[in-house]
Chains A and B, each alone.
Chain A
């Protein structure tokens, strides 16, 4: 039978900002090639033209879906270069914001996964509950999704009055909703049938391809930067890393769901244990770190992000390399899309939670 080349995207309901080339034999995809670069803004080059503080909103645009954790890595690398130790209270606030950001991002990812399997109600549920945390962000930082809240040296604002009660109220509600999600979505026959056994990524393949984050943990590897190399206040907080063995689309969704539960518990603990004190140390408005280099790792919602920053002693970075999680997960996409029906491609793509913005940078 002859092989036909089909293009998928960028103007396509589930393609996002990229496209695939699919070589199909009937309905079976034999080869898949990603065609990326539709949102390449050259963040790494632009960052060389700005000062360290100006770069905070620039690197945030790597992936605005998870703005808290994305900036987290950058500010940590700058702090390592400058040799700054941030106050305890700032560490806790960062942990809270980082976990809220993770919840927001996972809800978005799960919503897209829901619509990939044709489950529009769940999309509405997830996106609507996402607003709970976007409101909290608005209360804390003044912006919904792009808040540039972390700066080298600490955070911008202290927790506002009434934040504790409001956050606790919302977390209580959200925890009740999580039970509904499990019943409505993860025990749903349609969802199970569409995702069980789809896109199976084995443990060895996941490590070999350099897959990170929930996708790696869904393949049975217990690797999480928050445990391996604790940053901020994660070493003082009690949580577990959810893992699954199957490595299919359902397992990847399941890991994200269990991470939501863990994030709720982390935010609760952090809000209870947060010490008093300053929220940032004094850093000059144009910091000039000494010569050197730093590689900082942070666990974002999609997996580990690495910032490799080289300083030449001036007020602008010499080189900023962003090793983005979706770029590292991207290699799994052509690997998993061999000899699968075409209808499984959206499920595989969205279960890997790839974000083209993050891939292109």
Chain B
């Protein structure tokens, strides 16, 4: 059962030896790949064209203030293969720039816009990074970052 997943991991490791930090099979139908952000777009394009990962499932930002970095996780499902790959890459917290994957999967459009709004990660090449979920006059920073504190007592 786990053969397809291992094949994905092996192919990625062989093709992008230097740029794949870690690639493993998490469990059945789940593959985790940590890559360096310099070659993110090429790896994503390879996943789409050669490994049939065609259906974007989610884009999530994760804030790690101790490590001073953001993790951006692209979950992509493959309809023919029936495997979900988590494509992770880290971005420094003080200079959060990442190339947008909109040229690879068009479905990341709103996800990246949301991640920009909530974490302040700038996706270079994204056509429209503007206010989306928060009010138009929002000026209290990026709410999903760990240093944004919610109130601890009811008003």
Contact = CB atoms under 8 A, between A and B. Distances in A.
Interface of A: 36-37, 40, 42, 44-46, 49, 207-211, 221, 223, 228-229, 295, 297, 304, 306, 308, 310, 318-319, 321, 323, 327-328, 330-331, 360
A208 B110 contact: no
Contacts of B106: 208-210, 331
Given A308-B73, A308-B75, A210 B133 contact: no
Given A210-B55, A321-B58, A45 B150 contact: yes
Interface residues of B, number: 33
22 contacts: A36-B132, A37-B131, A37-B132, A42-B144, A45-B143, A45-B150, A207-B55, A208-B106, A210-B55, A210-B56, A210-B57, A210-B105, A229-B82, A295-B75, A295-B84, A318-B62, A323-B60, A323-B75, A327-B114, A328-B56, A328-B107, A330-B110
Nearest to B109: A331
Q: Which 4 A-B pairs have the closest CB atoms?
A: A210-B107, A323-B58, A321-B60, A37-B133
Interface in B109-155: 109-111, 114, 131-135, 143-144, 148, 150
Contact of A297 (B84, B108, B135, B143): B84
Nearest to B106: A208
Contacts of B144: 42, 44-45
A37 B135 contact: yes
Contacts of A229: 29, 82
Contacts of A209: 106-107
A40 B56 contact: no
B4 interface: no
A66 B30 CA distance: 26
A221 B77 CA distance: 14
B60 A308 contact: yes
Nearest to B128: A33
B93 to A, nearest CB: 15
Contacts of A42: 143-144
B69 interface: no
Contacts of B134: 37, 40
B86 interface: yes
A38 to B, nearest CB: 9
Contact of B133 (A36, A221, A308): A36
A228 B58 contact: no
**Interface residue SS majority, chain B:** mixed
Interface of B: 29-30, 54-58, 60, 62-63, 73, 75, 79, 82, 84, 86, 105-111, 114, 131-135, 143-144, 148, 150
Contacts of B109: 331
Given A306-B58, A323-B75, A331 B135 contact: no
Contacts of A327: 110-111, 114
A208 B105 CA distance: 6
Contacts of B114: 327
Nearest to A322: B58
A206 B134 CA distance: 28
Given A209-B106, A304-B57, 12 more contacts: A42-B143, A42-B144, A44-B144, A45-B148, A45-B150, A221-B79, A223-B79, A295-B30, A308-B73, A327-B111, A330-B110, A331-B107
Nearest to A80: B27
B62 A319 contact: yes
Contacts of A319: 60, 62-63
Contacts of B57: 210, 297, 304, 306, 323, 328
A328 B58 CA distance: 8
Contacts of A211: 107
B75 A306 contact: yes
Contacts of B58: 306, 308, 321, 323
A208 B107 contact: yes
Contacts of A208: 54, 105-107
B5 to A, nearest CB: 13
A262 B12 CA distance: 40
A45 B117 CA distance: 13
A221 B73 CA distance: 26
Nearest to B82: A228
Nearest to A304: B57
A268 to B, nearest CB: 28
A228 B135 CA distance: 39
A361 to B, nearest CB: 8
A228 B83 CA distance: 9
